[in-house]
Amino acid sequence: MGCPDGDWLPGTLLSRLDAAARRELRRLGTARGAPASSVILREGRRDSHVILLGDGLAKVTVAMTDGRHALLDVRVSGDVVGEISALNGTPRSATVTTCRTSTIRVIDRDDFRAFLRDHPDAAMAMAGIVADRLRMANRRRVDFASYPVRVRLARVLWEIAAAYGRRDRDGIVVDLRLTQSELATMCGAAEITLQKAIRDLRDSGIVTTGYRQIVVRDVAALRLSADVARSDD
């Protein structure tokens, strides 16, 4: 199930584990298939199992007071979701929905906690992932206050393309089934403002768009639009 050992994307839990711990974690729980658009965790539920994405892609969203859903992040093969509820017993803080047909492992909370107790390095890796996600959330809040929507959109697209895009002859394809509404909330923008920012990037030849798909045609120009170099100084 999933990638050959060693091929997990950087930043995922499986990429951070040694081979023995990785094999043990991948044997825990029950393997299941999940069609595209399946809700595998639902916000507010009090269940506490963990889901390991073996070969999968999923989006993490939260409900807003106006009825829309804010896109917080995406998860890929080798990632775990639901770890916060498993670790502290709180209700689910977000909904997780598959973006394509995926294979997952549903791991009981007690089994996951026992695994972390038996593998201190894995527990440290899990803590590092939680810290990275918090840091990213904090950076996005700063971005919302400091940058115009076009830059914020370019940054989000840069992050997603670098982590999850696939290369083809046209460029880097971002094929996550994201709606414009979800992308707008991820950028902290009104949907009509996001549409203008997408149109600007498209008119500049930086991206092309299709049905729930964006192709980055000019990576260097997207990086420049995202002001990545300045933020990394």
Residue 121 belongs to a domain with what CATH number?
Answer: 2.60.120.10
Chosen domain end from 109, 126, 142: 142
* Phi, psi (rounded to 5 degrees) for 78: 95, -10
Assigned domain for 4 exists: no
Helices (H), the chain: 13-16, 19-27, 83-88, 109-118, 120-146, 149-164, 180-187, 191-203, 219-226, 228-232
- Lookup: tokens for 152: 């914020």
Cα first-last separation, the chain: 40
Q: With bands split at pLDDT 50, 70 and 90, how would you rate the model's confidence at 231?
A: very low
pLDDT at residue 25 is higher than 80? yes
pTM of the model: 0.75
Q: What's the structural domain count of the chain?
A: 2
| 83 vs 151: CA distance, rounded Å | 32
Angle at 197 between CA 192 and CA 201, to 5 degrees: 145
Residue 179 belongs to a domain with what CATH number?
Answer: 1.10.10.10
> What tens digit of pLDDT does each residue of 38-81 get?
999 999 999 999 999 999 888 888 888 877 777 788 888 999 99
Question: Residues 63, 166: one domain?
Answer: no
Q: Which domain holds residue 38?
A: 13-142
> What tens digit of pLDDT does each residue of 170-207 get?
899 887 777 888 888 778 788 999 999 999 999 999 99
Question: Residues 155, 219: one domain?
Answer: yes
- Which residue has better confidence, 81 or 141? 81
Residue 46 Cα distances to 43, 178, 195, 196, angstroms: 9, 27, 37, 40
Assigned domain for 164 exists: yes
